[in-house]
Amino acid sequence: MDHIVYLVRARIQAVALLCMLAFASLFSVDSLAANSIDGIRVWPAPENTRIVFDVKNKPDYKYFTLSNPDRLVIDFTDTKNSVPLNNLAANDPRVKLFRSSSSKEKTRLVLELSQSYQLTVFPLAPAGQYGNRLVIDLYDKNRSPKVVATPKENIGDIIIGIDAGHGGEDPGSIGSKGTYEKKVTLAIAKKLQKVINEEKGMKAVLIRSGDYYVDLNRRTSLARDKNVHFLVSIHADAFHTPGPSGASVWVVTQSRAESELSRWLVNREKKSELLGGGGGVIKTTADSNLALTLADMSKEHSLGVSFGVANNVIKELRKITKMHKSTPQNGNFAVLKSSDIPSILVETGFISNHAEEKNLTWSKHQQRLADAIHQGIKSHFLAHPLTGSYFASIGYKKHKVRSGESLSVLAERYNISMSKLKSINNLKTNSIRIGQTLKIPRTG
């Protein structure tokens, strides 16, 4: 008995000693630190890597680079680091290794780099689910691809830019079962890319192809760099109550949002910049008046195309999902605003609605949505092919009206509705004249 008591007592003493040591270390060096690094995230993207530090308070930091080998050194003043660094760089092509050293005054983090990069470092104030952050972007130095001018007479494929909303630091809306909008949008975007690429005469490029954030301005400049003819931005809706459901299609306008819902949606998309970390971009969104003054004919033309596609996409979407709005909605979305490229924003459903949240994570439903968007875009560009595009050569055959042929006779012969035949040929009435050339859509 005595022996056991002694052992127990010894153990208690040992534990007490350990506790005291731990306690002492807690209150010696560390307790003096005013700030702490509580999280580190690494987001590799095709043209940059973003590294985000969660810090308890506004970060006080200095940084510099070293070469041979290339390194980035960041000193966080009066800060302790509690994040393990071992595996942070495992999946990143630009950072080879994170290491740190701490002293009373600071934590020094050293990032060993694969080469030298163009560097942006900026702090972000708390936004949404995030507290203070310090953001580091390592950009590839050759990241701006030269715009290849394509001759207007022969554009060949219609290039569709697909912008999966949100990504990386910016999860978008989060459903009650934990579904992230950024995941849903990327899944639909990839399915849409596949069906479009299977379509002769169309080609799709993804503006974002992985889980990383792309500045909203960068999204449109990427679309421009890739010679995109039409841009579709994929999102999933959310509202602060679970009631609203259904899909909607948005076209950008400069007018102020009218309904509470559209204000809510537009503000929510603006929040992306705060979450995703747009850096200097945030300021420029206040310049919508300037953008409006600079608006030109091409903008009006692009608005026409945008509405045309929007209507066709709605027509297809309503076959497979409930519509929240059955006509194109106007919104002042940053991702579409600065663009002279015709574009729509598709809200594929409400992630805040329980049934739709489930549907949106369902691969088969995502495929249906992708198919509907593809069909909508295709039918617009078949009916209104871009000059020099493949669709212009196959979209229509020509028919010269002969004696005895009426619109209804031709509609029946070519298996097309009267109204479709009229709209394709911009006919106001049912009368046609001999010798007139009509456009007849090819089937398939």
The residues of the shown chain that bind Zn ion, judged by CB under 5 A, are: 165, 172, 235
List of residues 6+ apart from 101 with CB closer than 8 A:
107, 108, 110
Nearer to Zn ion, 157 or 357 (CB): 357
Give least dist CB 182 to Zn ion, A. Answer: 8
Q: What's the closest the beta carbon of residue 238 comes to Zn ion, in angstroms?
A: 8
Shortest gap between Cβ of 272 and Zn ion (angstroms)?
Answer: 7
Nearest residue to Zn ion, scored by beta-carbon proximity: 235
Both tokens of 221, joined, read 């400049």
Residue (235 or 337) nearer to Zn ion, CB? 235
Query: Between 155 and 249, whose beta carbon lies closer to Zn ion?
Result: 249
Between 72 and 231, CB nearer to Zn ion: 231
Q: What angle do CA 116, 117, 120 make, to 5 degrees?
A: 140
DSSP per-residue codes, 33-86: -SEEEEEEEEEE-SSEEEEEEEESSS--EEEEEETTTTEEEEEEETEEE-S--T
Indicate the residue type of 35: N
Other C-beta atoms within 10 Å of 173: how many? 22
Output the smallest distance, CB 222 to Zn ion, in A. Answer: 18
Quote the least distance from Cβ 29 to Zn ion, whole Å.
Answer: 44
Strand intervals (E) in 351-430? 396-400
Q: Give the containing element (helix H, strand E) for 290.
A: helix 288-293
Angle between helices 363-383 and 181-197 (to 10 degrees): 50
Q: How far is the CB of 313 from Zn ion (least distance, A)?
A: 17
DSSP 8-state secondary structure symbol assigned to residue 286: G
Residue 80 or 183: the one with the smaller Cβ distance to Zn ion is 183
Nearer to Zn ion by C-beta: 134 or 369? 369
